[in-house]
Amino acid sequence: MQDEEVWIKRYNASPLRNPVAIVGSPGLRSIGKLAVDSLISQLQATLIAGFYSTHLPSVYDTSPSYAADPTLPGQAGAIVESGRADLPKVQFYSFAEPPVVLVQGYHPNFEGQYVVAQKVVDFLGDLGVERMIVVAGFGSKEKKIVCAANSQKALEEMKTRFEVGIGYKGPFMGFSGLVFGMAKLRGIEAVCLFAGTEPIEENLEFPDPEASSRIVELLNRILGLKK
């Protein structure tokens, strides 16, 4: 029987000096996931760890996957990619210069939301992360990027250095929302970038690569990867 609710598989990795964490998951129009995947590919980042959990379903009973419901826990199972089967997982990648940890999020079911987010935030804290940038989408007809943060200082920095202001208010559900919210408890300064995207009611997670590329462009500026 699986004793732990969350367990980790570590790969060989060199220690990083206070890396910035970039966190995304398949949320609205999959913008967060696309942005993180794109950056992993751009940087040819190295896989350093995977988190597995009894709370990560392979099949969701909810649609979208981030709309967790206590009565709909989903089904456990395997996920097959390129012919290889593995369990659903959250993955961590690293890049040395500038030091970055990229988090490919995965939505737990209702019961596991806080448990998984807590483990992720603790792991990032143990890696020396002091700053986190979460990426996601918000429903808007305007192709703009707005931000939220866990400190006034971080909001001001986004405004003055990158001309990104606030503009979304309301709930933020799923993996990325809780990781964003829990960062402060671990002393991590966190900003969330929301790209405006038009929700498609029939499939809220239908990818929006254009909105994602806007986020990636901004992340490149923030991280100093491209001027």
Partner 1 sequence: MNSEIKVIKKVKPRELVLICGLPGAAYIGKLSVDYLIQQMKAELVAEVYSRFFPPYVIIKEDGLVELMRNELQHVTDETGKSLVFLSGNAQAFSPEGQYEITEKVLDWAVENEVKRVYSVAALVTDRPFEAPEVYATATSTSLLEETKSRGAKVLDHGIIGGENGLILGLARKKELEGICLLAETHGYQTPTGEYVVDPRASKAALNVLTQLLGIKVDMEPMDKQVAQMDEAIAKMAEIERRVREEMTQSGKRPSYVT
Residues lying near partner 1 in the complex (CB under 8 A): 68, 70, 110, 113-115, 118, 147-152, 155, 165-166, 168-174, 177-178, 180-182, 184-185, 190, 192
Q: How far apart are CA 46 and CA 224, in angstroms?
A: 19
What amino acid is encoded at 157 in this protein? Answer: E
For residues 213 and 143, is the Cβ–Cβ distance under 8 A?
no
Q: How far apart are CA 129 and CA 131, in angstroms?
A: 6
* Residue 198, CA distances (Å) to 123, 203, 204, 211, 214 in order: 34, 11, 9, 10, 14
For residues 137 and 32, is the Cβ–Cβ distance under 8 A?
yes
114 or 162: whose CB is closer to partner 1?
114
Task: Provide the minimum distance between the beta carbon of 168 and partner 1 in the complex, in angstroms, as a whole number.
Answer: 6
48 or 189: whose CB is closer to partner 1?
189
Q: How far apart are CA 152 and CA 148, in angstroms?
A: 9
150 or 212: whose CB is closer to partner 1?
150
52 or 66: whose CB is closer to partner 1?
66
CB atoms within 10 A of CB 138: 25
Tokens 């933020």 found at: 172
Task: Provide the minimum distance between the beta carbon of 175 and partner 1 in the complex, in angstroms, as a whole number.
Answer: 10
34 or 68: whose CB is closer to partner 1?
68
Task: Provide the minimum distance between the beta carbon of 53 and partner 1 in the complex, in angstroms, as a whole number.
Answer: 13
Task: Provide the minimum distance between the beta carbon of 44 and partner 1 in the complex, in angstroms, as a whole number.
Answer: 32
Task: Provide the minimum distance between the beta carbon of 162 and partner 1 in the complex, in angstroms, as a whole number.
Answer: 14
